[in-house]
Amino acid sequence: MASRILPTIFIGVAALHFVAPRLADWFAAKKTRKQDQRKLEEALAQDESQCQTIQELQSVVERQTRTSQRDSERIRMLVDIQRLQHDTIIAKDNALNGLTREVVDQQQRILNLQSMIRSRDQMAEAGDEDLGGPGVLIWNYDPNMHSNINGTMFFLYESNHDFVPYKYTAIPPWGSAFITVCPTFRGRIMRGDVTNFNGKKHLLGTWAELNWHANGTGSTWGDVSLLQGNDGAVVIQSLDGNPRIKGFTDDLLSNAPADALAQKATGSWCLDKIIGPDANNITREWEGRFLSPWVVYLEDDIDPVINSDNGRFQVTFYEGVI
């Protein structure tokens, strides 16, 4: 029996010598793992604390940002209020100055109107005295009474002198007036009213253009132009005995498309200009459907002009708008 126990004891001792180190290693590893787990938990706790700190800082920054934005908004509002106060003061000053200018302009218009009224009857009945020199006989075939006068007013402007009329006249329906001009006159005749006395340019409308040559021959050139607008039909013809005539008698205003129209200084609407950077192509197409560029100016590179050997023309204005 002793022989059986001794080998068992030897085997147990040997196993203990084999297992003991490994148990020690296992316990050591377990202890290490616990320490690592503790360190990891401490690190996570520290990270969580840092995240919380960062969030708190972000909240502080956001509050400061909102406060700064509110302050900036307040500053902008204060600036806007100051600007509005300044603009209000300027507007009041401008209103006073504008009122003063308006009063002066109104007084000037009254003076111009009084001057026109004083000379209207004589001019409407006779115009200038015809002594056989250069001039133009204007006929008014417009049956309407414009601007509370007995007929229509017509204005002569010299070229490059667009602010003040060279001459003007008022002609009753179916009446005429002869207007003399200097032998070097170059300019246009247009429909108008007392608005033409306001010292501004009035270009929109049909032009009857006249050009007396300064060469002593008495030769004169004339045409009808729609380049700067069309406020009614006009015909020009020479008075030298030759059958020279240009222009048109068609009413192109009544059925014109709305996009082809432009407003005059008087508030009336007529066909728009067809020249320059802001030329109205719809107007050009509309007028081109009815008129030839050889009878009126529709293009700047075709010259539908006539001449008068004795320097005298007749210009007939048909129904139009003022």
* pLDDT tens string 135-150: 999 999 999 988 777 8
- Residues 105 and 191 reside in one and the same domain: no
- Residues 32 and 176 reside in one and the same domain: no
Which of 80, 102, 121 marks a domain boundary?
A: 121
Predicted confidence at residue 1, as pLDDT, reads 55
**Mean pLDDT value across residues 180-184:** 88
Residue 50 pLDDT more than 60? Answer: yes
Handedness of CA 202, 312, 139, 260 (dihedral sign): negative
| pLDDT tens per residue, range 215-227 | 556 678 999 999 9
Residue 86 pLDDT more than 60? Answer: yes
Predicted confidence at residue 100, as pLDDT, reads 61
- Residues 288 and 214 reside in one and the same domain: yes
Amino acid, res. 89? I
Predicted confidence at residue 115, as pLDDT, reads 53
- Residues 196 and 314 reside in one and the same domain: yes
How far apart, in whole angstroms, are the C-alpha atoms of residue 291 and residue 135? 28
Q: What is the dihedral of CA 314, 316, 321, 322, to 10 degrees?
A: 30
Which of 121, 144, 171 marks a domain boundary?
A: 121
Predicted confidence at residue 225, as pLDDT, reads 97
Percent of the chain predicted with pLDDT > 70: 66
**Mean pLDDT value across residues 174-192:** 93
- Residues 216 and 69 reside in one and the same domain: no
Predicted confidence at residue 61, as pLDDT, reads 58
| Best CA proximity match to 208, nearest among 191, 196, 195, 184 | 191
Tokens 């100055």 belong to 97
Q: Across all residues in the chain, what is the average pLDDT?
A: 81
Number of domains in the chain: 2
- Residues 188 and 220 reside in one and the same domain: yes
What Å distances lie between residue 22 and 28, 119, 122, CA to CA?
10, 135, 139
Predicted confidence at residue 300, as pLDDT, reads 84
Q: What is the CATH number of the domain that holds 237?
A: 2.60.110.10
Percent of the chain predicted with pLDDT > 90: 49
- The boundaries of the domain holding residue 80 are 1-121
- Residues 111 and 139 reside in one and the same domain: no
- Residues 27 and 96 reside in one and the same domain: yes
Which of 86, 104, 121 marks a domain boundary?
A: 121
Predicted confidence at residue 119, as pLDDT, reads 45
| pLDDT tens per residue, range 256-314 | 999 999 999 999 999 999 999 999 999 999 999 999 999 999 998 899 999 999 899 99
- Residues 265 and 171 reside in one and the same domain: yes
| pLDDT tens per residue, range 62-71 | 666 665 566 5
- Residues 109 and 158 reside in one and the same domain: no
Q: Is 139 helix (H, G, I), strand (E, B) or coil?
A: strand
How far apart, in whole angstroms, are the C-alpha atoms of residue 192 and residue 173? 15
- Residues 275 and 183 reside in one and the same domain: yes
- Residues 217 and 261 reside in one and the same domain: yes
Predicted confidence at residue 118, as pLDDT, reads 47
Q: How confident is the model at residue 35 (pLDDT cuts 50, 70, 90)?
A: confident
